[in-house]
Structure 1
Amino acid sequence: MSEEQPAPKLSLKQKRKLQEQEELESLESKVAQPDNYVDTKFFDDLPISTKTRKGLKRSNFRQLTDIQRKAIPLALAKRDVLGAAKTGSGKTLSFLVPVLEILYRARWNAADGLGALIISPTRELAVQIFEVLKKIGREHSFSAGLIIGGKDFKVEQERVSRMNILVATPGRLLQHMDQSVGFDCDNLQALVLDEADRILDMGFQKTVNAIIENLPRSRQTMLFSATQTRSVKDLARLSLQDPEYVAVHEKSEHSTPHNLTQHYVVCELHKKLDVLFSFIRSHLQSKTIVFMSSCKQTRFVYEAFCKLQPGISLLHLHGKQKQTKRVEIFRKFTTTQHAVLFSTDIAARGLDFPAVDWVLQLDCPEDADTYIHRVGRTARFDASGHSLLLLLPTEVEGMMEELKKKKVPIEEIKVRDSKQQSVQKQLQSYCFQDSEMKYLGQRAFVSYMRSVFLQRNKNIFKATELPTEEYAASLGLAGTPKIKFINKAKAKETAASQLLEEEKEEEDEEEDEEKEKDRVRTKYDRMFQRKNQDILSEHYNKLVDFANDTVTKDDDGDDFLTIQRKDHDLESEPEEDINELVSENISKRQAKMTKKHVAKKQTKGERIVFDDEGNPHQLYEMVNEEEFLKDGDAKAQKEAYISEETKAMETADWEDKATAKQKRKEKREKRKLRKQQELMEARKERGEDVDEVVYTLGSGAEDSYSDASMSEYSSDEEEDEEREAFKRKWREAQEDEEDESRSGKKRVIETDEPVTLADQEALALKLLGA
């Protein structure tokens, strides 16, 4: 018998491949039965690979949450999943673990291209997902990339075609699909939408539709959010096939974490910043997020509170910042123990800030879902947290109804007036001293009013009822910025209310007419309804006013009845009307005065300076005596100031005179040009050559005609001289006439018959000079 040959020895690489093959076969058989893992409590008990298990252990992920226990087995079985759970319940691992396992079981490598795509609505959430993916997937050999706006697009184009897993925002992903050469999604195995309800809403509708068109239909799709969508249209757009709906807390008593304390405060709009500053001052050892409605409002409050210096680190996060700045602020707030972050709703979804103590909502959220996402930044996992919502009196009723429908437990509390600090004077001082602060305040005012005006739920947000003047003053603004859309809305509401009143009155009149028709009319009714029965009585009522008269008996008995007027004061003009008349008379007299006299009678202005508390002071009160005497004694400083101002006034006076002289010169030139045009038109009417007129005017001919006409164009001095000569000739002519009247003789001047206009003017001069 031949001896059996021993089995060939396997190399370490071959043994590893054999072990991986056996593990894959075992995993394929286990994941086909997801119901066996419904009660699993630890990641080690799930049918996942050794590499994924090691990455979870190194990241200290050991115990499963409720959403992970139900969603991961279904996702490992390559089923479409709709996952809905409270904020902070561990939804990120619910889709990252299946993504790694699906590609691992498919033996995915760099040559296979893109295998999994994870879409996030915000850049900060995408960065957070990518960081978690790097931690738990460090044992795998997959290539992963982060595609978000704000980074170099060309650098991303060079690397995007080599990625197996992509975490992206919708806008930048669509840009790569359209412009990047070699970016192929035909082999995509899994599509994940985190915060799916936000991605599928109207803001991303066109972008998501374009992305879905470029993806294959034979893929696995997973949707996760705290407020999940179940719209048939949305699911049809994503081509979901028999999706499994996993709602962990759908039957729970509340839709927010049980260890979250929730309160609200009814506060007037112009007192919001006072409440916010007082809250920060009383919670200096806490980590707080303050949510606002707009980017410009967030910027203004951050800049203003930095000047107020509440005593704690301040940060701000909004969509108008550059990507590098946003990531820096995100990481700084994550690592800081005590800080206040002013933010828009950009930080309301999915972001995991550790150890947040308070979530304060300065502005009312858009709806109950937004409220749930905002308060989800605290009380994450098993930690406790607090939330405070500031509501206007007009927002309380509508918002409470919305929160009640979503099963949100919230109680009202009141702010102690003794603990509240006012910052309005300080803000007024800052806006007065710094034009940039004033501009930010105006932009913040307009952006807040616009955000309230554009809200869809008009039962909560009533923009036309907001106290705009008080709110503008609370921001430190001297006046209220003009808001055209609010004025138009108020006009529409007024017109609509008037129309409703008119319709109601018409309906009431019609009802009265119908009742009158139905009523039985007697002969007395017809008698009182005659049209001509009160002609004389109406005339008599106009003569005598019985309403203000009383009838009394006369004591003397001369008349049986007499009319006695009631005791009342005579009507007189009120003091306000008299003051208005006096002010009108004064204004008329002042109108006749010259500018110099008005300036002399006006009170001199005083220069004032505001201190840190916002109180006004004279300029000398803010300077120490030593600093004041550095520039010399008071008399020397006064004389220097007067000399400087005198020189400045002389310079300004010289400039004003030069300007006035130039204006007079331009006026004379215009008058000359107008006279030239009139002369040319007169010459044309008489049939004379126009060129000769122009030449005569320019050559300075000394005939009587040109002297008479050119006197119009001479300078002011020449005009004065001619005026004096004319007066002298007139006086001489008057004296000659008086002499002739005494002597009884009349002087006769012989001349030819005038033919042209020049002859007539020459004759007139001779008569005047005679």
Structure 2
Amino acid sequence: MSFKSLGLSEPILKAVSKKGYETPSPIQQKAIPSILEGKDILASAQTGTGKTAGFTLPMLHKLAENSYHKHRSIRALVLTPTRELAAQVFANVKEYSEFLDIRSAVIFGGVNQKPQVATIKRGIDVLVATPGRLIDLESQGALSLKHIEILVLDEADRMLDMGFLRDIERVMKLIPSRRQNLMFSATFSKDIKKLAYSILNNPVQVEATPENTAVEIIDQKVHRVAKTKKTGLIIKLISEGNWEQVLVFTRTKHGANRLTKKMVSAGITAAAIHGNKSQGARTKALAGFKNGKVRVLVATDIAARGLDIPLLPHVINFELPNVSEDYVHRIGRTGRAGASGEAISLVSADEISYLRGIEKLIGMSIDIEIIEGFEPDPNASTEPIKPGQNRSRNQSRNRNSGQRNSGNTKNSGRNRNRRRNDSKR
């Protein structure tokens, strides 16, 4: 099957050809014709399956086909959970609309809103946004959602995980009831189906891969190791393997910062990317990683959503995620667009239960290897670290510190809330 056979217009086919794509992926083959027919879509698509083009191409086709508005107004809205994903989707919209009279913009928090508002006021057809900044600008009267014809919820499962349900419900009240809805999610959980039922109208259900399965071409491996030896092991693997582009996942922001510092001390160029980093720092870190100046990018789950890194060869789980589905998202950063990839997990005793949950989810056992000098601790507890347990110790430390610096308590609280709101947007 070719892209032309899907019914896309010549200007879009020209843009697709310019990017070097010839054959649509399974999700594109299944979703594009139904979207062009005006149907609502509920699509299950793992990262790296081509889902962004799966909704961007037919969306642009429909907008260009009905470009009858005298004054440009926002006619298509793409909601994403993170800044990185918003930026990536916007880049794709720009590329695929190169030969169309379509204008687009992206908005997200953590950066100055003035340039974003100025772009919107000049007139746009497509808006890519994170929920927090979108609601902020709408409440300020900086944009209107009254003319939305197409709504896309990208990575809807992550939006629910991040607590955006109320924001999504608020957006629904701001857009016309008559519209086309496209929802993309890595999983069809009960919460996703409940959200879909409230938004979609007789949707066509599309699945690119079996539900919750890891990409089969990724070579998955587990290294059992003592928790105290993880840092030494990851430095050994990267250094002795001469790995040049490695994405590493940690469970916390603090852990990402700490591991990055230790890698830099060991002579490995590394950068951290997480919610507490400014957008400028995150953009700089990602650019350095893509152009080869940074060998290792250390990320938390939320920050890593939407990272589009072609031919990424290595993903390392320095710590396994608390939620099994997040493992699938993590390793899906490699093995993209048909390329092979390697996913390695460093597993200590207290993560064994997480490993069992992951294996149950993906329906397979992952090969285990123990490296000499980095053996697991036979006396370590297999009791899993509960989410928030490390945080409690940090909070206790912060409370003691706060008592010593009580004069700064109110200001620090305000700053903490401001940072939390920025990271959500």
Q: Which TM-score bucket, shorter chain as reference? A: 0.7 to 0.9
Q: For 1:125 and 1:384, locate their aligned partners in 2 and report how far apart those are by CA, in whole Å.
A: 23
- 1:96 matched to 2:56? The reply is yes
Deviation at 1:283, TM superposition (A): 2.2
Match of 2:150 among 170, 184, 190: 190
Identity, in percent, stands at 29
The aligned residue for residue 603 of structure 1 is none
SS of residue in 1 equivalent to 2:337: coil
The aligned residue for residue 454 of structure 1 is 387
Deviation at 1:180, TM superposition (A): 2.6
Q: For 2:281 and 2:394, locate their aligned partners in 1 and report how far apart those are by CA, in whole Å.
A: 31
Paired letter, 1:107: S
**TM-score of the superposed pair, with normalisation by structure 2:** 0.84
Deviation at 1:482, TM superposition (A): 8.9
Q: For 1:314 and 1:320, locate their aligned partners in 2 and report how far apart those are by CA, in whole Å.
A: 17
The aligned residue for residue 388 of structure 1 is 344
Q: Contact between 1:114 and 1:188, CA under 8 Å: does it hold in 2? A: yes
Distance change >3 Å, CA 260–CA 337, structure 1 → 2? farther
> 1:475-514, aligned counterparts within 5 Å?
483=396
Deviation at 1:408, TM superposition (A): 4.7
- 1:305 matched to 2:238? The reply is no
Distance change >3 Å, CA 320–CA 77, structure 1 → 2? same
The aligned residue for residue 234 of structure 1 is 195
Deviation at 1:409, TM superposition (A): 4.6
Match of 2:236 among 255, 258, 278: 278
Distance change >3 Å, CA 47–CA 302, structure 1 → 2? same
SS of residue in 1 equivalent to 2:169: helix
Q: How many residues align?
A: 387
Paired letter, 1:179: Q
- 1:317 matched to 2:273? The reply is yes
> 1:621-770, aligned counterparts within 5 Å?
none
- 1:48 matched to 2:4? The reply is no
Paired letter, 1:299: N
SS of residue in 1 equivalent to 2:350: coil
SS of residue in 2 equivalent to 1:63: coil
Q: Contact between 1:262 and 1:387, CA under 8 Å: does it hold in 2? A: yes
The aligned residue for residue 379 of structure 2 is none
Distance change >3 Å, CA 280–CA 108, structure 1 → 2? farther
Question: Which runs of no fewer than 5 residues in structure 2 stay unpaired?
Answer: 376-383, 399-425
What are the Cα deviations for residues 280-308 of structure 1, in whole angstroms up to 9, with x where unaligned? 22222331111011112211221232122
What are the Cα deviations for residues 518-573 of structure 1, in whole angstroms up to 9, with x where unaligned? xxxxxxxxxxxxxxxxxxxxxxxxxxxxxxxxxxxxxxxxxxxxxxxxxxxxxxxx
SS of residue in 2 equivalent to 1:111: coil
- 1:167 matched to 2:128? The reply is yes
> 1:122-141, aligned counterparts within 5 Å?
122-141=82-101
Match of 1:334 among 290, 305, 310: 290
- 1:259 matched to 2:217? The reply is yes
Q: Contact between 2:110 and 2:279, CA under 8 Å: does it hold in 1? A: yes
Distance change >3 Å, CA 108–CA 282, structure 1 → 2? farther
SS of residue in 2 equivalent to 1:135: helix
Question: Which runs of no fewer than 5 residues in structure 1 stay unpaired?
Answer: 1-40, 421-450, 456-462, 469-479, 486-770
Deviation at 1:398, TM superposition (A): 4.6
Larger mean Cα displacement after TM superposition, 99-108 or 148-157:
148-157
Deviation at 1:484, TM superposition (A): 7.9
Q: For 1:132 and 1:324, locate their aligned partners in 2 and report how far apart those are by CA, in whole Å.
A: 21
Q: Contact between 1:196 and 1:229, CA under 8 Å: does it hold in 2? A: no
Q: Contact between 1:117 and 1:166, CA under 8 Å: does it hold in 2? A: yes
SS of residue in 1 equivalent to 2:346: strand
SS of residue in 2 equivalent to 1:51: helix
**TM-score of the superposed pair, with normalisation by structure 1:** 0.48
Q: Contact between 1:83 and 1:247, CA under 8 Å: does it hold in 2? A: yes
Q: For 2:43 and 2:70, locate their aligned partners in 1 and report how far apart those are by CA, in whole Å.
A: 30
Distance change >3 Å, CA 216–CA 452, structure 1 → 2? farther
> 1:401-480, aligned counterparts within 5 Å?
401-417=357-373, 452-454=385-387
Q: Structure 1 or 2: larger strand share?
A: 2
SS of residue in 2 equivalent to 1:236: helix
Q: For 2:10 and 2:119, locate their aligned partners in 1 and report how far apart those are by CA, in whole Å.
A: 29
Q: Contact between 2:88 and 2:307, CA under 8 Å: does it hold in 1? A: yes
Q: Structure 1 or 2: larger helix share?
A: 1
> 1:540-619, aligned counterparts within 5 Å?
none
Q: For 1:130 and 1:318, locate their aligned partners in 2 and report how far apart those are by CA, in whole Å.
A: 20
Q: Contact between 1:256 and 1:408, CA under 8 Å: does it hold in 2? A: no
The aligned residue for residue 141 of structure 2 is 180
Distance change >3 Å, CA 333–CA 228, structure 1 → 2? farther
What are the Cα deviations for residues 684-712 of structure 1, in whole angstroms up to 9, with x where unaligned? xxxxxxxxxxxxxxxxxxxxxxxxxxxxx
Deviation at 1:371, TM superposition (A): 0.2
Q: Contact between 1:364 and 1:390, CA under 8 Å: does it hold in 2? A: yes
Query: RCO (CA 8 Å, sep 6+): is it higher in 1 or 2?
Result: 2
Q: Contact between 1:262 and 1:409, CA under 8 Å: does it hold in 2? A: no
The aligned residue for residue 116 of structure 2 is 156
What are the Cα deviations for residues 463-500 of structure 1, in whole angstroms up to 9, with x where unaligned? 59xxx9xxxxxxxxxxx989589xxxxxxxxxxxxxxx
Q: Contact between 2:285 and 2:294, CA under 8 Å: does it hold in 1? A: no
- 1:200 matched to 2:160? The reply is yes
The aligned residue for residue 249 of structure 2 is 291
Match of 2:171 among 208, 211, 234: 211
Paired letter, 1:129: V
Deviation at 1:243, TM superposition (A): 0.8
Q: Contact between 1:319 and 1:346, CA under 8 Å: does it hold in 2? A: yes
Distance change >3 Å, CA 410–CA 347, structure 1 → 2? farther
Deviation at 1:176, TM superposition (A): 1.0
Paired letter, 1:256: A
Larger radius of gyration: 1
What are the Cα deviations for residues 49-106 of structure 1, in whole angstroms up to 9, with x where unaligned? 1111111111212211111000110111111111112321111100001110111121
Deviation at 1:454, TM superposition (A): 2.9
Deviation at 1:198, TM superposition (A): 0.9
Deviation at 1:175, TM superposition (A): 0.6
The aligned residue for residue 76 of structure 2 is 116
Runs of 4+, deviation exceeding 4 Å: 480-485
Q: Contact between 1:379 and 1:385, CA under 8 Å: does it hold in 2? A: yes
Paired letter, 1:42: S
Q: Contact between 2:156 and 2:185, CA under 8 Å: does it hold in 1? A: yes
Paired letter, 2:195: D
Q: For 1:416 and 1:322, locate their aligned partners in 2 and report how far apart those are by CA, in whole Å.
A: 40
SS of residue in 2 equivalent to 1:117: strand
Distance change >3 Å, CA 52–CA 390, structure 1 → 2? same
Q: Contact between 2:84 and 2:305, CA under 8 Å: does it hold in 1? A: no
The aligned residue for residue 422 of structure 2 is none
Paired letter, 1:329: A
